[in-house]
Amino acid sequence: MVYVYPPPPPRPSGLATASLVFGLIGIFAICLFGIPGIVAVVCGHKARRQIREGRAAGDGRAVAGLILGYLTGVWPIIYFIGSATGSIKS
């Protein structure tokens, strides 16, 4: 009798984990002006590509990192535009 085992599931993506971590850093490190948020977005999109191709797992981490990255990476742009137009007084 021959036993055939299914292939092991793909390992979690390191990029997805990095995206989530940088997204969380972006929330708590406001003084970094959105740089962790930008890194989270880049890592999140690369991780989603890996996951779509079946080379990795961890879609939830990638999506959470993307959401946090967009939230923490966009506020400096809004602040800059608001202060440049005079609608935000610093």
**25-84: pLDDT as tens digits:** 998 887 787 899 999 999 999 999 999 998 899 999 999 999 999 998 887 778 888 888
Determine the Cα–Cα distance for residues 90 and 3; give it in Å rounded to an integer. Answer: 69
**Partners of 57 in beta bridges:** 12
7 has pLDDT over 70: yes
Q: How many residues does the chain have?
A: 90
* Single pTM value for the model: 0.80
CB-based burial label for 68 (10 Å; 0-12, 13-18, 19+): buried
* H or E, element range at 2: none
Residue 90: pLDDT band with limits 50, 70, 90: low
Is the model's pLDDT at 22 over the cut of 70? yes
